[in-house]
Structures are given as structure tokens and as C-alpha cells.
């Protein structure tokens, strides 16, 4: 996506960049998002992507870039450029391809749910959002969703009934309260009441389940809240253990959550076992080839004015400030391996480090056939 050489450079990125040769000291190529100033950008939203996005942010924060000023010039508050930590442009000869030129810093606020994160973004309270579901059909105009990894939604039980296969129709029957006994799912199971739980309404994991079921998973009269009279936050079975709904038992409870989260963090999964859906067991392979029926992308969400795809791996958007910093980060997350530099700490290509962060958190890269805009992400603009 974005490739830049400081000083004597030649740059070609389709429609977004001008060809530059003999770049004068102190100048940046037009339309890159780079402005030689270190910005701090903050994201908020999904619980599912909190850890993986924090890991990617750490890699980006440590990526190589410009030589920085190590002392301020001038007298406070009347500093003269550059400030400590900003780029020293004059006389700089570094060549950086695919790093974090401005040394921007990315931070992640604690999860509040995907929908709330997008709302925080569009109202200007944060600079980007984390989402574990695609854009809504209305109400999120002006945002772009950059799918950077793939996940599955797994339906889980805690009563030793797995392995067990249920159909999509049976899952719908559980949460619309037309199937209320385990024996209705499988005649070999002893009769016992099913206790289906709901999930935080702002959760992207809930939105993905709603799409699969075809209705609001929280709406059924039999659907349980915690003893605190709130729906459980996503991906943490400990809540069902510590704060069960009155009259329920963990052994008869059924819920759902992120396969990546439950696979990676056994403490959050506790005793939960995965069910097969429509005869297909959940795995990285069945999620990748789309044979497992409940799968989704997880997203880095931006304001479209800050960064949007224009084809051929190129983007348009902000050129300075926090908007430009969001654009730099987004391009870095979505560019192919050839566009990345190596880590100053390990010597590995940063694309490979990112892949490790994604896989270590239970996710996988978007399959090649599902990528868009010439990069490694699957990009969708909110209608």
C-alpha cells in the first residue's frame, strides 16, 4: 500500500501518491498520512478483539521509522520544531518501507462492545473502533470496516453433552423457546430443561449470532440474564458460574462465543465444550473454507474521511494529524508482506510478526480469495 523513501525517493502508489524524486529536506510526499509528528490515537469497542488489537498495536508502536528529536528546541511553552519525539527531517537519509514513520502511538481502551465502539468513533470520542461484526445496515454511515482476521462463533454447553450436533433450526428453536428440553435435541439425552443465556446487546458476537438465528437472541421469554439482571458480557463463562440466573444450573446452560477467544483463553472458557453445527465441527480449517456455518470477520473500523479504499491497494483520506495517523495504521495492518519492513528487535518481517499475533490469539488471516482492495483485509464501507 504505502511505500516511501525519505530524501532521494521514488514513490508509486496508484492514485494516492505523486512520484517524488530529490525530496527536499522537511517535506513529505503528498497524500500519505505522514506529517513527521508523533500522534497518540485511541481505539475502543469489541471485547473479542481487545487482546489481538493490543498485540498488533504493540508491534506497530515498536516498528521502525524516522530519526526523532531527543530534546526540545526553545523555551516552554514556546517550543520550536521539532518537539522531542517528532521526526528530525532536515538532513535525514533513512529509508523506511512499511514501518511507522511518524512513530505514532496506538492505545486501546477497555471493551464496551462493538456497537458502542463504532458510536464512540462516529461521535469523535475515539480515533478508531474495534468490531467483531460487519457494519449495520443503517446508522453507521461514514465508517469503513477493515476485516483483518477471521473467526467463528461456537455454541457451547457445560453439562458434558458434547460431542453433540445440532442444526441451525434447532439452535433457533433453543433461543426462540420452542425447544426447551435436551431430549428434544437428541433422543439419547436424558430429559432436562435447557437454560439458554443471552448476551450484552452491544456485542458484535451477539450481532453475529442474531444473523445466524435470524432474530434477536435476547428476545425469547426463556432467555436468561445473570443474577444481576444484565445479559452476560461476551466470551466469559465465569459469569454464568459466579452469577447464574435463578433456578438454573450450569450443567443445563447453553451459550455462544468466539471460537478464537474460547480456544485461546481456557480460563474464560472454563468447562465449556463446543457443539457441532449442521454436522460440521468448528476448527480453523472449517472456518477458513466456510463449511462451518457461523463465521465472521473481525474489524478495525475507521472514519471514511480518515481512510477509505480506492482500489489497487491504495487509499484516500487524511494527510496530517490523528486522522493521518489512523490512515498510517490502517494501511500497515492491511498491506501484504512485500510492503512491510523488518523488526529492529527480531529481524522478522513485520507482516510475519502480525500473523503471529493474530494466530496466537486464536484468529487466522483473511483467506486470499476473500481479500479486497489489493491488500490482506476484507474492506466494507457502511451504507
Residue 187 pLDDT? 93
Q: What is the pLDDT of residues 325-351, one digit of tens each?
A: 999 999 999 999 998 999 999 999 999
Share of the chain above pLDDT 70, in %: 90
Phi (first) and psi of residue 273, to 5 degrees: -120, 145
Domain 151-296: what homologous superfamily? Periplasmic binding protein-like II (3.40.190.10)
To the nearest 10 degrees (0 to 180), the angle between helices 350-360 and 50-61 is 160
CA separation (Å) from 44 to 53, 81, 199?
10, 31, 19
Whole-angstrom distance, CA of residue 147 vs CA of residue 347: 27
pLDDT of residue 229 exceeding 70, the answer is yes
Q: How far is CA 360 from the centre of its chain?
A: 14
One of 3.40.190, 1.10.3470, 1.10.1060, 3.30.1360 is the CATH number of 40-132+143-150+304-381, namely 3.40.190
Contacts of the segment 354-359: beta carbons below 8 A, 24+ positions apart: 354/56, 354/59, 357/52, 357/55, 357/56, 357/59, 358/52, 358/56, 358/148, 358/149
Cβ atoms of 325 and 39 within 8 Å: the answer is yes
**pTM to 2 decimal places:** 0.90
Torsion angle, alpha carbons of 358, 45, 331, 351, to 10: -10
Torsion 367-54-201-281 (CA) sign: positive
Whole-angstrom distance, CA of residue 217 vs CA of residue 136: 17
Residue 93 pLDDT? 55
Q: What is the pLDDT of residues 272-293, one digit of tens each?
A: 999 999 999 999 999 999 999 9
Residue 105 pLDDT? 97
More confident residue, 123 or 98: 123
Dihedral-angle region of residue 305 (phi above 0 means left; psi in -120 to 50 means alpha; beta otherwise):
alpha
pLDDT of residue 6 exceeding 80, the answer is no
CA separation (Å) from 34 to 260, 286, 322, 329?
34, 40, 10, 11
Q: What is the pLDDT of residues 128-152, one digit of tens each?
A: 999 999 999 999 999 999 999 999 9
The residue ranges of every structural domain in the chain are 40-132+143-150+304-381, 151-296
CA separation (Å) from 1 to 16, 97, 331, 358?
10, 10, 6, 20
- What pLDDT band is residue 96 in, cutting at 50, 70 and 90? low
Cβ atoms of 29 and 4 within 8 Å: the answer is yes
Amino acid at each position: 500500500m504505502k511505500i516511501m523513501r525519505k530524501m532521494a525517493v521514488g514513490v508509486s502508489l496508484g492514485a494516492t501518491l505523486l512520484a517524488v524524486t530529490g525530496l527536499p529536506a522537511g517535506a513529505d510526499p503528498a497524500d500519505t498520512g505522514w506529517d513527521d509528528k508523533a500522534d497518540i490515537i485511541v481505539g475502543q469497542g469489541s471485547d473479542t478483539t481487545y487482546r489481538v488489537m493490543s498485540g498488533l498495536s504493540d508491534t506497530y508502536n515498536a516498528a521502525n521509522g524516522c530519526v526523532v528529536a531527543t530534546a526540545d528546541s526553545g523555551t516552554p511553552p514556546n517550543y520550536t520544531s521539532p518537539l522531542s519525539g517528532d521526526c528530525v527531517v532536515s538532513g535525514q537519509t533513512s529509508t523506511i518501507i512499511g514501518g511507522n514513520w511518524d512513530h505514532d502511538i496506538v492505545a486501546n481502551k477497555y471493551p464496551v462492545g462493538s456497537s458502542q465502539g463504532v458510536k464512540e468513533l462516529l461521535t469523535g470520542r475515539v480515533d478508531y473502533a474495534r468490531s467483531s461484526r460487519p457494519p449495520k445496515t443503517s446508522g453507521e454511515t461514514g465508517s469503513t470496516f477493515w476485516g483483518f482476521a477471521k473467526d467463528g462463533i461456537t455454541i457451547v454447553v457445560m453439562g458434558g453433552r458434547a460431542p453433540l450436533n445440532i442444526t441451525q433450526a434447532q439452535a433457533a428453536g433453543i433461543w426462540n423457546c420452542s425447544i426447551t428440553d435436551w431430549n428434544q435435541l437428541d433422543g439419547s439425552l436424558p430429559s432436562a430443561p435447557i437454560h439458554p443465556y443471552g448476551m450484552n446487546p452491544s456485542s458484535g458476537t451477539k450481532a453475529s449470532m442474531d444473523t445466524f438465528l435470524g432474530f434477536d437472541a435476547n428476545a425469547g421469554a426463556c432467555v436468561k440474564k445473570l443474577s444481576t439482571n444484565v445479559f452476560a458480557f461476551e466470551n466469559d463463562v465465569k459469569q454464568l458460574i459466579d452469577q447464574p440466573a435463578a433456578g438454573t444450573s450450569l450443567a443445563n446452560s447453553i451459550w455462544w462465543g468466539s471460537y478464537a477467544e474460547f480456544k485461546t483463553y481456557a480460563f474464560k472458557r472454563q468447562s465449556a465444550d463446543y457443539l457441532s453445527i449442521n454436522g460440521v465441527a468448528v476448527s480453523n480449517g472449517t472456518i477458513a473454507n466456510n463449511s462451518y456455518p457461523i463465521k465472521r470477520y473481525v474489524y478495525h473500523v475507521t472514519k471514511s474521511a480518515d481512510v477509505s479504499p480506492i482500489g489497487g491497494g491504495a487509499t484516500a483520506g487524511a494527510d496530517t494529524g490523528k486522522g493521518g495517523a489512523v490512515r498510517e495504521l490502517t494501511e500497515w495492518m492491511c498491506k501484504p508482506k512485500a510492503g512491510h519492513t523488518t523488526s529492529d528487535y527480531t529481524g522478522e518481517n513485520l507482516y510475519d510478526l502480525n500473523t503471529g499475533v493474530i494466530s496466537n490469539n486464536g484468529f487466522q488471516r483473511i483467506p486470499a480469495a476473500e481479500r479486497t482492495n489489493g491488500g490482506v483485509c476484507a474492506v466494507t464501507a457502511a451504507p
